[in-house]
Amino acid sequence: MRFLSADWIYPLHISPIKEGVLQVSDEGKIINIFENRSEVPSDKLEIFEGLLCPGFVNAHCHLELSHLKGIAEKGKGILDFISRVKKRDNFKNEEIQNSIIQAEEQMIKNGIVAVGDICNTTDTLLQKQKGNLLYYNFIETFQINDKKIKETLIAAKVIRNEFRNSGMKATIVPHSPYSVPPKLMEGISNFFDNKDDLFTIHMQETSEENQLFENNKGDFYNWLNKINASSEIWKNRNNSTDVLKELGRKHTLLVHNTFSKKEDITDNYYCTCPKANLYIENSLPDYSIFDRDKLCVGTDSLASNDSFSILEELLIIQKNSDFDLNTLLKISSKNGAIALGFKNLGTFEKGKIPGVNLIKNINITKIL
Ligand SMILES: [Zn+2]
């Protein structure tokens, strides 16, 4: 049993407590929270400088792309980025696996306890089976050719079942509104079953995506025509968010939203990946448009970020919003845990095993 105290405790389900004490079992389970240090025998107290908060939830990651660190040049836009990521297969399996191991180690060191992870392959399966972190695996599909939709869905189902057979959460999801025609959206929606909690989709990451749906023109429109994409993608959609209806109004985690307006926001969960947005588009979302209880944070992949650190992401959000510290920590822990369905994580509520992070100045130490 440990009694952890710091200048501040941020339990996130209740208000922050100055010089509070967290009683934690050897297995990391929260046993109690005390308002005062005097309630605990002083010889048992471990006192830290800084604040204690629950472990972080990285709500959007592509762990399998970790070997692509540095492959894309900063600020070149999404079309250049997509062309770079296509080189993902030009690497030895050993290199891919080693990068996955190192990237996971980095997440653990940086106080991350759970991940919403996008998968196009089963490359991360071996590492995830070790159970170092909790993962919700989102099996991502895209297909711009209407004739290949069936085979895309069949391939996704094979990957999903491999993750599920290893005892992990896995849901088939669409990549984005511009890469998934309505027929594929419908197929994805039909696959949703009682093991699934939510969908996730990249949303309004660029202004070109809005141009495509709102005006049927621009760089995305020209690019999709050049690669013979099905016009069904934009024909009956006047806004990126129209695809949410096609998904059957199930809970969805919308990722990026860099070019979303207030009127685009729906009753869903949202995930911001500020460092990736700065990396690719050199832009950030308007943080005032989001419901603060529904906003999560993610790192995206190492192809569009130089580290897996939720704290670094928070510092950028803090600079570009009016969110107070308690709100920022909710975004980094509680909201992601709720969105992804990790009931034991996200707050210091009794009975949970959320992990304990110590933040001092702008440094983080994983205590538990
Ligand atoms: Zn992503």
Distance CA 93, CA 101 (A): 12
Instruction: Calculate how far, in angstroms, residue 255's C-alpha sits from the geometric centre of ligand 1.
Output: 7
| pLDDT for position 225 | 96
Instruction: Calculate how far, in angstroms, residue 30's C-alpha sits from the geometric centre of ligand 1.
Output: 33
Distance CA 39, CA 35 (A): 8
| pLDDT for position 279 | 93
**22 token code pair:** 């967290």
Instruction: Calculate how far, in angstroms, residue 300's C-alpha sits from the geometric centre of ligand 1.
Output: 5
Instruction: Calculate how far, in angstroms, residue 62's C-alpha sits from the geometric centre of ligand 1.
Output: 6
Instruction: Calculate how far, in angstroms, residue 201's C-alpha sits from the geometric centre of ligand 1.
Output: 8
Instruction: Calculate how far, in angstroms, residue 18's C-alpha sits from the geometric centre of ligand 1.
Output: 37
| pLDDT for position 88 | 86
| Segment 223-276, tens digit of pLDDT | 999 999 999 999 999 999 999 999 987 899 999 999 999 999 999 999 999 999
**266 token code pair:** 């729906």
Instruction: Calculate how far, in angstroms, residue 59's C-alpha sits from the geometric centre of ligand 1.
Output: 10
Sequence-ordered list of residues with C-beta below 8 angstroms from that of 167, at least 6 positions apart, any chain? none
Instruction: Calculate how far, in angstroms, residue 303's C-alpha sits from the geometric centre of ligand 1.
Output: 10
**Residue 217, Cβ density class (10 Å: 0-12 exposed, 13-18 middle, ≥19 buried):** exposed
Question: How large is the greatest C-alpha to C-alpha distance in the chain, in angstroms?
Answer: 71
Q: What is the mean pLDDT of residues 19-23?
A: 98
Instruction: Calculate how far, in angstroms, residue 319's C-alpha sits from the geometric centre of ligand 1.
Output: 23
DSSP conformational letter for 15 = -
Backbone φ and ψ for 112, nearest 5 degrees, come out as: -85, 135
Distance CA 129, CA 120 (A): 17
| Segment 56-98, tens digit of pLDDT | 999 999 999 999 888 788 888 888 888 888 888 888 899 999 9
Model pTM score: 0.96
Q: Are 329 and 10 in contact (CB under 8 A)?
A: yes
Q: Which long-range contacts (CB under 8 A, 24 or more apart) does 213-217 make?
A: 213/177, 213/237, 213/238, 213/239, 213/240, 213/242, 214/238, 214/239
Beta bridge partners of 203: 256
Instruction: Calculate how far, in angstroms, residue 205's C-alpha sits from the geometric centre of ligand 1.
Output: 10
Beta bridge partners of 6: 48
Q: What is the mean pLDDT of the chain?
A: 95
| Segment 133-189, tens digit of pLDDT | 999 999 999 999 999 999 999 999 999 999 999 999 999 999 999 999 999 999 999
| pLDDT for position 89 | 82
**Residue 22, Cβ density class (10 Å: 0-12 exposed, 13-18 middle, ≥19 buried):** buried
DSSP-H helix ranges across 35-148: 78-85, 93-109, 125-128
Instruction: Calculate how far, in angstroms, residue 285's C-alpha sits from the geometric centre of ligand 1.
Output: 15
Strand 21-24 versus strand 30-34 pairing type? antiparallel
**Does residue 292 carry a pLDDT above 80?**
yes
| pLDDT for position 171 | 98
